[in-house]
Chain A
Amino acid sequence: MINFMLLVSRQGKVRLTKWFNSNWTTKERSKIVKEVSSLVLSRRTKMCNVIEYKELKIVYRRYASLFFIAGIDANDNELLCLEIIHRYVEVLDRYFGNVCELDLIFNFNKAYYILDELLIAGELQEPSKKAVLRVIAQQDSLAEGEEYSVQ
């Protein structure tokens, strides 16, 4: 299970935090964000994308100025997690059209909505990019008050 997902800029600014594990208090969460982001930011390029952190494993990947970070259970598949991260980035990229950090800052809620289509309770719920993009588009048009119908 993915325990949490973070988006952190190269300067250490948090752009998204999603907690799938409800065992941590607010205080512990901010401690984790701090420790994990400093761990990840201190990594060099070309280093591997897996770090051991307490009883978890941190899997991260950098896309331009943003680090996408996931904290997974010790027996989870790191490579699969990297694929999930990549899938998320691909969907964001398609959705925003060549996504950049600013898109995610000004549309932080959209970043959450898209993540919610990809993952639920820390598990992958939809492996298909197309399906995710389709439902997001439908939700957007619904929000904009446009007509829609559920097939």
Chain B
Amino acid sequence: MFEKSLADLIRGIRANKKGEEDYIASCLEEITTEIKSNDIDIKAVALQKLTYLNMLGYDMSWASFHVVEVMSSQKFQYKRIGYLAAAQSFNKDTDVLMLCTNLIKKDLTSNKMYETALALNGLSQIVTPDLARDLIDDLLRMMNHSQPYIRKRVVVLLYKVFLQYPEALIMAYPKLKEKLEDEHTSVVIATVSVICELATHNPRNYLPLVPQLYNILSNCSNNWLSIKIVKLFALLAPEEPRLAKKILPAFGLLLEGTSATSFAYEILNSMIKSGLIKQANQALISLCVEKLKEFIIDRDANLRYLGLSALSELVVIFPKVIGAFTDIVLERLDDIDLTIRRKALDLIPSMVTKPTLIPIVDKLMSYLIKDEDEWFNNINIFTDKEYRSCIVNNILNICSKDKYANISNFQWYICTLCNISFVENIYNVDNVANQLMDVCIRLKDTPLRKFIMEKMIELLKNKVIFEKKFIKAGNSNVLYVASYLLGEFRNSIDIENVEDLLFSLTSSEAKELSDIVQNNYIIAILKIYIYWLLKSDFNESSIDAFKQITTMIMQKLQLFMNNSGIEVQDRANLVLEILNKIYEQYDPINDVDKDLIKSIDSLFDGELKPVAIKAQKMVPVPNELDLDHVINEEAQEMLNEIESSFADESRYFWMSRVINPKQIKEPTKQELREARKKREQSKKDNLFYLDDEDDEKPQNSFYEPDIDEIPIVKFTYDFGKINIILI
């Protein structure tokens, strides 16, 4: 008497939404008793319930013996419950699998076709090396089974068998070849599928099948089969150079003739992925390009996505081909599907050239500053940080490529970077700031420098960037760049703007900025102030301006001194003291005093230059430097020790001279672990021990020989021998 049928269980779970866990626990308890029942009806239903719960994530490995019991039932309806449970729950470590060999053998050779099929399906899920070895003879015999229904299963199952028991492949190969000619298409499909999987591991083995496969392909009307064969040819072609010549025209004809998109896609994709397309003639390449275009503009999102994916692999082979796609790929940036947009975005770097750069970047920019209310398919693009950051990265990458080679108008680029600084909802504002810094330092042209300075002053004065959201998101860190550049290249600032700039730098909003920005602000104030003193011609009437501005700055520096960051305070203090000294001692009308200012200005001398990655190599090695000279002899010996430990044999050899081998007791893993624990504990307890990760060298403390006694010089290796031993 069992308490619940499967339907009862499922209904119960649905009825107990709140106490589901408890309900299932009680059901599991019932199942545990039911499954031990002697009544096969009860046992099978219990197993079926358990399989259901297993699907929901509950363990059923404890019941594997009962699974075998049900599998061995005489009744088909129970057998299938048993096999289903086995397929779902057994893995290679299930110990009852050993009990299954005879059971499966019996079912395989059963005179009832569906029992055989059950066993084949089950075996495909649970086959182990042992099972494979024990059953291979039966399986090979069954490849000639009278029913195609069985033959196709055996063929596919064999692939799983080969994985577990590779020797079987040699035995099965002739029959597999035979099955390519089977009268039933489903058997041929199965055979080609298996060969296709096998060919991903070792394509060379299947080259002899080419004529047969070619025949099938030319006479084939089955879409599924054609796709598999095309895929297989793509795997084989790289192994045999002559194959491309034969197969490419066939591919061309098929591609032109087919109306099945999945087949057309397979031909395209296989040709691109295998590199076969490199050997195609112009006509075939254009056909591929046309087909790809059709995909990319198709109404079906899948085709658009797959088309773009294939295109991104095609551009790796033929970089120039992207020219034909520029417009349609750009259109995909507006796609309703974000995944497709992302794919299109990935393609952008490959299509940028000098003339197309500006329109492409402007288009990308338009997505960043588009209306907040724009919704696509229920996703507000404006809030999708990931996608927006991708766009920004894309802009930075395509512009900085090859040291900004594609940029013809740097004023435009600097404006663009400044604009991105105000873009919300992106992760990578810091990258933008870094690039702005990089590009501005590289640009030495005087009018451009002037332009940069104007732009930076604009940034500094823009109140928007001090808004809380921008400060929080890190956008304001662009002022780190602005303040630095203004200080460094102060000579390019128009002197009329300087007083105004000093006011901006000391505005009270500055205290909201992060410490690293404030640091740059303070130094910029000093640099620009000194520049102002040097460039201004003071006379009796304008001396007041000097006093006014100096005291103003001194007052405003208080702002920075209230900062809790020690570095900001320190810098503010330093600058304040310098200004104080100047205020007290400097007479702007007296030319002699100018030397003081000049000497301060000289502190900031020197020009920043970009350093090439390979620069270090260009530094010549000084003559007196001998890199081979031994600076520490002990270190040399330690190095030798490490080297010799690579070859176990040799270490053993000279070690044995030092220490009596009998005294060496190999420490067990457990002992080693304990020793290491102890050592780490004592390291931790030692206040004076500075932890150093490099400490973990492969030294064996048990073999600490007296280094002087090691007769390294006398020993000669025979490397040839050692190698042989090691192998």
Contacts and interface: CB of A to CB of B under 8 A. Distances in A.
B338 A47 contact: yes
Interface string B115-127: 0000011001100
B302 to A, nearest CB: 5
A105 B87 CA distance: 19
B503 interface: no
Interface stretch (B148-156, B208-216, B285-293, B582-590): B148-156
B190 interface: yes
Interface string B231-251: 100000000000000000000
A20 B261 CA distance: 27
A46 interface: yes
Secondary structure call for the A interface: mixed
A14 interface: yes
Nearest to A75: B273
Contacts of B77: 142-144
Contact of A120 (B112, B153, B337): B153
Nearest to B274: A75
A64 B602 CA distance: 76
B667 to A, nearest CB: 32
Contact of A106 (B7, B59, B336, B338): B7
B553 interface: no
Interface residues of A, number: 49
B636 to A, nearest CB: 46
A125 B148 CA distance: 11
A50 B262 CA distance: 14
A1 interface: yes
A83 interface: yes
Contact of B224 (A14, A15, A124): A124
B193 interface: yes
Interface in A18-68: 19-20, 22, 25-26, 30, 44-51
A117 B157 CA distance: 13
A20 B163 CA distance: 13
Contacts of A105: 10
B157 A150 contact: no
B675 interface: no
A112 B159 contact: no
Interface in A105-119: 105-106, 108-109, 112-113, 116
A135 B224 CA distance: 21
B337 A48 contact: yes
A123 B52 contact: no
B377 interface: yes
A1 B197 contact: yes
B337 A47 contact: yes
Contact of B160 (A14, A25, A82, A121): A121
Nearest to B13: A105
B301 A46 contact: yes
Contacts of A48: 301-302, 304-306, 337, 339-340
Secondary structure call for the B interface: helix
A100 B676 CA distance: 61
B698 to A, nearest CB: 31
A79 interface: yes
A22 B186 contact: no
Nearest to A49: B302
Contacts of B200: 75
A1 B201 CA distance: 13
A45 B160 CA distance: 37
B189 A127 contact: yes
Nearest to A78: B306
B92 A80 contact: no
B80 A113 contact: yes
Contact of B149 (A44, A45, A135): A135
Nearest to B376: A44
Nearest to A24: B91
A31 to B, nearest CB: 11
Contacts of B159: 121, 123
A127 B227 CA distance: 13
B23 to A, nearest CB: 15
A14 B262 CA distance: 29
Interface string B506-530: 0000000000000000000000000
A85 to B, nearest CB: 12
Given A14-B57, A26-B61, 6 more contacts: A46-B377, A47-B337, A78-B306, A128-B186, A142-B112, A150-B147
Interface of B: 6-7, 10, 48, 51-52, 55-57, 59, 61, 76-77, 80-81, 84, 87-88, 91-92, 112-114, 120-121, 124-125, 147, 149, 152-153, 156-157, 159-160, 185-186, 189-190, 193-194, 197, 200, 222, 224, 227, 231, 261-262, 265-266, 269, 273, 301-302, 304-306, 336-340, 377-379
10 contacts: A14-B56, A47-B337, A49-B301, A77-B265, A78-B302, A79-B262, A82-B262, A106-B10, A123-B156, A144-B77
